[in-house]
Structure 1
Amino acid sequence: MDIQSRRGIIKAGAIGALAAPFVSNAQAAAGQTWKVQSTWDAGTTGYKLFEQWCNDFKEKSGGELTITPFAAKSVAADNNALFEAVKTGVLQGMNPWTLYWAGKIPASVFLSSYPSGPDQPSQWDTMFYGLGMLKMAREIYAKQGLMYVGPIQHDANVIHSKVPITSLAEMKGKKIRLPGGMVSEVFQQFGVATVALPGSDIFPALEKGTIDAADFVGPAVNYDLGFHQVTKYILMGPPGTMSIYQPVDLMDLTVNMGAWKRLSANMQAFVEDQVKGYSLTQYVAIQKANVDAMAKFAAAGTTVSRLGQSDVDAFRKAAIPVWFNWAKKDADATRVFKLQLDYMKNGVLGYVTDADLKGQKL
């Protein structure tokens, strides 16, 4: 990915936010503390980056806001509990994978990448910060008593397998851990038995052989989780594309609305800028770690396979009707997808044509 293009999108906020500590006013001097749980597992590259970002917040905010980080399952034991903990104020915030709320907020499947949709991080920053998708996301989350502060980039997802898989056809009959929503529905069309598991449960499931393969995030974190010990194969998209099903697996910072409103307007703006800056910092750090991790996987004897263009074409053909089915689940999903569809049809991207969409309507 072109890092410079992403830097250009967020430069104004990120440079200002990172250059100097926030200067608080007298009214806010007492400060507030947020407890924020991430879906990153403790000890992984992702959680270490998140933990450092949180721990630096008190100094950067001039003492006005302290953020205490928690790893996955530390306070809320699972994803449903995490959502409710933030909604009710047990936790003040969360750093989840946005896709996890597909069952609660159908539009959330369009707030992170999905099968054969926009597949570059810069495209997602453009939609959020240039085309109005951030405003939409905040309006949708406000209905749940939540403030969607902003997207956080980290990586694509790849599949680790105990058995060789080199094509979509070879997935038939395999039991594979995948996220829910659109991703599972598309893979099921190719005969995959999909299984939903949190990240911390993937290693034991692979070790015991209760699943044949598992999608999770990118090479760096997956190596941290020990996937090289229980699998020998990695499946990616064509050269230059790590994933065709979830190439930009966005996280976010979501905050309890009451906690958000207790911040001063200046502090709210500061937090937003910090999230933009952290998105770039985390993305670049994880991409570097991925490079190192691939060498470690190779040393462990892992074989990498890549899907061919015929697989990409078949996957897109299967995915498009699923896009529209999810877009019609409610009015919020429809309007977010409409923004993305217009972007994908625009000559800038040219991802889909009217011929591709024949027979589909919102």
Structure 2
Amino acid sequence: MKLKALLTSAVAVAAIAGPALAQDVTLRIQTHYATEHPTGQLLAQWIDDVQTMSDGAIAVEMFYSSSVVATTETFDAAINGILDCDATGGAYQTGKNAAFQFVGDIMGGYDTPWQQYSWLYYGGGYDAAQELYNAQGMQLIGWSIYGQESLSSSKPLAGFADLDGWKFRSPPGMETEIFQELGASPIVMDFTEIFTALETGIIDGADASGLANNVGLGIYDIVKHATYPGFHSMPSDHLACNQSVWEGLTEGQRRIIDTAWQKLSFQVALSNEKANAEAAAALREDGVKLYNWSAEDRAAFRKGAQVAWEDWGTRSPEAAALLESHKTYLGQLGLLN
């Protein structure tokens, strides 16, 4: 009887403790991508992976196209509990700390997504970046990098010398500073103004997106020159969660989210590489001239970019630490002299 009583008691305790250990959770996440965008579709697959691998214990409510708050406000919404996680990118948060530039878009640093991923996971980047995120009450889960962006132009961009006096649409921030240093004439304007400015000759070209995305936007209906593969910009999107929310998950739940995100990262890079290659072949047939800059010209651009890097590295201790981490790893890869 005593043994039976002990077993009954153990079953009762397990019945109480069991649900608490495997408690279901719903994560509210916002992305700037639309549902029909290729990355938006891969995010939908990520959600399915997370929900399936967790056997329904983790549900994800994804808000596409920045439908809750503005894209730039997503990070704060996660910090303040309006959302649980942010699936936009660190580059939107340089106003909080200049160091976010070095986790959002290093500008002229790595040649491929795989090199940049390797800094994050094997070059000390994850720990260095985590300090920056944790100071904001957030946890960096991982990146997704779709690859180098292409510059589009109405005139040749065959190499470094062609930047002299080249007028183009540029986003604000570090990129504008780099291209000014190199003799170009960047003009900050809204994305929606690019087409009219190209058609009227206000600008000679534009930094918009990757080659395949630029095709979808219709840029090469107007201009017939582009850099490919690109070299100047390779933005990284992130998944970052409210630190308290993240720490409230079980270790198993955290592993599922992280593992599924690494699969997403891999597929974002591969799918865009394929899309860009297909776009390049089609553009060449249509008479668009594509320029693959030489190693010497890429090195010249990277050297010029370092002037802006060093300036941004003075803007906060965290920026200085992340810049030093990148420079060390870029040196190991042979990308810095």
Normalised-by-shorter TM-score class: 0.7 to 0.9
Q: How does 1:1-362 map to 2 (within 5 A)?
A: 26-27=19-20, 29=22, 31-77=24-70, 79-196=71-188, 202=194, 206=198, 211-236=203-228, 242-246=229-233, 248-309=234-295, 311-346=297-332, 349-353=333-337
Give CA-to-partner distance per residue, 1:268-313, whole Å, 9 cap, x none. Answer: 1221122112111221122122222223334554322333455334
CA contact (8 A) 1:45 1:224 kept: no
Question: Structure 2: which 5+ runs fail to align?
Answer: 1-17
Aligned to 1:69, the other structure's residue is in SS state strand
Deviation at 1:328, TM superposition (A): 1.9
In 2 relative to 1, CA 38–302 (structure 1 residues): closer, same or farther, beyond 3 Å?
farther
Deviation at 1:189, TM superposition (A): 1.7
Aligned to 1:144, the other structure's residue is in SS state coil
Deviation at 1:167, TM superposition (A): 3.7
Q: Which amino acid aligns with 2:93?
A: W
Residues in 2 aligned to 1:52 and 1:203: alpha-carbon distance in whole angstroms: 33
In 2 relative to 1, CA 161–67 (structure 1 residues): closer, same or farther, beyond 3 Å?
farther
Q: Which amino acid aligns with 2:334?
A: G
Q: Which amino acid aligns with 1:276?
A: Q
For the aligned residue pairs, the C-alpha RMSD in angstroms reads 2.8
Q: Percent identity?
A: 27
Q: How many residue pairs are counted as aligned between the two chains?
A: 320
Deviation at 1:90, TM superposition (A): 2.1
Q: Which amino acid aligns with 1:150?
A: G
Question: Structure 1: which 5+ runs fail to align?
Answer: 1-24, 237-241, 354-362
Residues in 2 aligned to 1:198 and 1:146: alpha-carbon distance in whole angstroms: 29
Residues in 2 aligned to 1:156 and 1:95: alpha-carbon distance in whole angstroms: 20
Aligned to 1:26, the other structure's residue is in SS state helix
Residues in 2 aligned to 1:255 and 1:164: alpha-carbon distance in whole angstroms: 43
CA contact (8 A) 1:155 1:218 kept: yes
Give CA-to-partner distance per residue, 1:136-162, whole Å, 9 cap, x none. Answer: 212211121211111223211111224
Larger fraction in helix: 2
CA contact (8 A) 1:55 1:69 kept: no
Residues in 2 aligned to 1:314 and 1:260: alpha-carbon distance in whole angstroms: 42
